A = this chain, B = another copy of it.
């Protein structure tokens, strides 16, 4: 976990000196020097100040820092991260594999409880999306087409088309889906 090396790297990439960055971040050059030599572990507050001045998000900083170690390819079931759907959609669960920020492909484990609905305000975002129903039933509206899909059935369309998901059945519906690029 070589924070110093990474900080130096992003600072240099911006063509900033320790003093310049320090001034922008409201810290001192000495602090940056110590951090870059890993002689101190900065507080999150300090690191955030520095990255705000770069600028770079803390998440991006750490995703690229952790990649330089042993890359992460595999995920336990509990490592899927729950993400929030756009607007509350009646208890829909969207569990995303990994950290989509750093990838062009997003895989989701979706669960639509009985009656769940992404709402009539049809969604719109760039990319393509596809999925397959594992269990239960899901009613999907794309553009002017509506269809109810059951286990083993799938969908594939351009995400820019207005679309909507709704569970018309009495049991939860589970869907594995993929999007490209990530949209949330």
Which A residues lie at the B interface, using CB under 8 A? Answer: 1, 3, 40-48, 57-60, 62-66, 68, 70-77, 80-81, 83, 97-99, 101-107, 109, 127-132, 134, 140, 142-145, 147, 149, 151-157, 161, 176, 178-180
Contacts and interface: CB of A to CB of B under 8 A. Distances in A.
Contact of A73 (B43, B71, B101, B155): B155
B44 A3 contact: yes
Chain A to chain B: the 5 pairs with minimum beta-carbon distance, closest first? A178-B178, A77-B152, A41-B45, A59-B62, A107-B130
A129 to B, nearest CB: 7
Count of identical protomers in the assembly: 2
The SS class assigned to the A binding surface is mixed
Contacts of A147: 73-74
30 contacts: A41-B43, A41-B45, A42-B43, A44-B47, A57-B66, A58-B66, A59-B63, A59-B65, A60-B99, A62-B62, A68-B144, A73-B142, A74-B142, A74-B145, A74-B154, A74-B155, A76-B152, A76-B153, A77-B153, A97-B155, A98-B130, A98-B154, A98-B156, A103-B156, A104-B180, A105-B105, A107-B131, A107-B154, A130-B178, A178-B180
